[in-house]
Amino acid sequence: MPGDDDEEVWCMCVVDDVLHAYFSQQGLMGLDAKRKVWRSVVGLDKLEANFYDAVTAEYDGKLAVLWYGSSKQEINVGLPKSKSVKIFPTIRSAVIALDWIGEVIRGTIEWYGVLTMPEDSSCAFQNFLVVSD
């Protein structure tokens, strides 16, 4: 559980007065401040996010997440029907709505996007700031 000696927090963010954090063993959770108990965020099984390398921020009452990934692409090389598979780095992002359903928090992916970068490129997240009107 959160607070164990071997548990790590990889990223955290406040959304609508609820602290959300990704724990290395428990996954994404939200702090129920009234009861002083962490609650699991469910419904994000299809989101293949690397939260250990992610940044999070509140965006319009939702959780915005950016993380690194990779993408395999077949590339034509020279001769007809000759192909090579190359791996390209990506930056992936999602906007997740968070709703309390009983004792758990339901996460719903409202938007997801992938930016594919050139083959030998790299980048690092330094800060993550959301600006909206």
What one-character-per-residue DSSP string does 55-86 give? EEEEETTEEEEEEEEEEEEEEE-SSTT-EEEE
Q: Name the DSSP letter for residue 103.
A: T
Predicted local confidence at residue 108, as pLDDT: 93
Write down the pTM of the prediction: 0.77
> Is the confidence at residue 11, as pLDDT, over 60?
yes
Mean pLDDT of 25-39: 86
Q: Which residues, in sequence order, are bridge partners of residue 115?
A: 91
Mean pLDDT value across the chain:
81
**Nearest by Cα to 43 from 66, 72, 63, 19:** 63
What is the average per-residue pLDDT within 23-41?
A: 86
Q: How far apart are CA 133 and CA 63, in angstroms?
A: 17
Radius of gyration for the chain, computed over Cα atoms and rounded to the nearest angstrom: 18
pLDDT for position 45: 84
Closest CA to 19 of 44, 4, 1, 36: 36
Tokens of 24: 């290395």
Between CA 61 and CA 107 the distance in angstroms is: 12
pLDDT tier at 4, thresholds 50, 70, 90: low
